[in-house]
């Protein structure tokens, strides 16, 4: 039996989620305790639970102890009944060991039930489009790769844009994450395609390829039939192109590969009832026990 510690902030809604999660853990006979985030760590090797990828760096000492870490964060996109992008309301995703469950998806052989719940039935690949979209990552990602200053981040993005433009004649559009848009602003060499300027469905309507490092936009792109070049830990890493020189001719994964990835990924997305009744922990604990 592996002890479980939920590291949480004092925010009321996060404490409520932690308490629900704990009920599900106890239903399987496991021990769980709570620890205020940023006040130290429980002794010994244990499974750690945290809400929000921005706080993952606080758990770095646990990585050295080889403690498995699960992160609860915003749910991946879904397609609604009309085939339009949306969010799975009331759900959140669970990631391990990093910000996405990259070591598991595609290899677990899970059934299709949860994939079908989210209508994860990707549209056929689009093979035309005016733009290559560079989708920005979160600030926490840039900090993890050693880019702590705004100028460093902008320089890094400008370099990626130069590399993209060396391999395509298509226009390059930069889409920053909403929480970094004001800080980063326009980036040299690319058209601004922020959420303030254009909706994601409208942008995808003129997009040939999405390039990104760490972003869940690759799921949205996959569902809409937009191929990706993935340069870092994004959820479609293993079914996507991984080199910028493929930006004009990206890998177009077959239906079987897409289905296997999404079948597995569906088992990393749960609602509050499933945290509380143990459905989530029944699956997740198998990954570490």
pLDDT in tens, 150-164: 999 999 999 999 999
161's tokens: 């844009």
Q: What are the tens digits of pLDDT across the range 258-280?
A: 999 999 999 999 999 999 999 99
Return the DSSP state at 23. Answer: H
Residue 204 has a pLDDT of: 95
Q: Is the pLDDT of residue 232 over 90?
A: yes
Return the DSSP state at 98. Answer: S
**pLDDT band of 59, cuts 50, 70, 90:** confident
Return the DSSP state at 241. Answer: B
Is 131-251 in the same CATH topology as 4-108+267-287? yes
| C-alpha to C-alpha distance for 43 and 160, rounded to whole angstroms | 42
CATH number of 4-108+267-287: 3.40.50
| C-alpha to C-alpha distance for 100 and 156, rounded to whole angstroms | 22
Termini Cα distance of the chain: 7
Least confident of 9-13, 105-109, 201-205, 221-225: 9-13
Which of 107, 192, 180, 169 is CA-nearest to residue 143?
180
Boundaries of every domain in the chain = 4-108+267-287, 131-251
Q: What are the tens digits of pLDDT across the range 162-179?
A: 999 999 999 999 999 988
53's tokens: 């990828």
Which of 163, 98, 174 is CA-nearest to residue 136?
174
Residue 9 has a pLDDT of: 86
Q: Give percent above pLDDT 70 in the chain.
A: 100
Q: Is the pLDDT of residue 127 over 90?
A: no
Average pLDDT over residues 213-231: 96
Which of 1.10.10.10, 3.30.70.240, 3.40.50.920, 3.40.50.2000 would CATH assign to domain 131-251?
3.40.50.2000
**pLDDT band of 98, cuts 50, 70, 90:** confident
- β-strand pairing of 91-95 with 69-74: antiparallel
Contact 146, 57 (CB under 8 A): no
The three-state secondary structure class of 4 is strand
Which of 97, 90, 85, 56 is CA-nearest to residue 75?
90
């Amino acid at each position: 039996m592996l002890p479980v510690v939920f590291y949480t902030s004092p925010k009321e809604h996060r404490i409520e989620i932690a308490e629900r999660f704990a009920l599900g853990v106890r239903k399987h006979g496991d021990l769980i305790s709570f620890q205020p985030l940023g006040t130290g760590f429980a002794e010994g090797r244990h499974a750690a639970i945290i809400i929000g990828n921005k706080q993952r760096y606080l758990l770095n000492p646990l990585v050295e102890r080889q403690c498995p870490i699960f992160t609860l964060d915003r749910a991946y996109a879904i397609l609604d009944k009309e085939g339009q992008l949306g969010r799975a309301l009331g759900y959140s995703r669970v990631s391990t060991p990093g910000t996405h469950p990259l070591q598991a998806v595609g290899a677990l052989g899970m059934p299709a039930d949860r994939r079908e719940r989210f209508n994860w039935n990707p549209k056929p690949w689009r093979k035309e489009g005016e733009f290559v979209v560079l989708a920005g990552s979160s600030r926490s990602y840039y900090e993890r790769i050693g880019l702590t200053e705004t100028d460093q981040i902008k320089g890094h993005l400008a370099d990626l844009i130069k590399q993209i433009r060396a391999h395509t004649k298509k226009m390059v559009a930069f889409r920053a994450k909403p929480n970094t848009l004001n800080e980063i602003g326009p980036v040299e060499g690319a058209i601004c395609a922020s959420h303030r300027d254009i909706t994601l469905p409208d942008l995808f309507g003129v997009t040939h390829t999405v390039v990104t490092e760490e972003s869940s936009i690759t799921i949205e792109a996959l569902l809409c039939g937009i191929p990706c070049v993935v340069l870092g830990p994004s959820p479609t890493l293993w079914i996507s192109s991984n080199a910028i020189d493929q930006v004009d001719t990206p890998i177009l994964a077959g239906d079987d590969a897409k289905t296997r990835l999404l079948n597995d990924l569906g088992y990393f997305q749960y609602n509050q009832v499933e945290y509380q009744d143990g459905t989530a922990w029944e699956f997740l604990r198998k990954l570490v026990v």
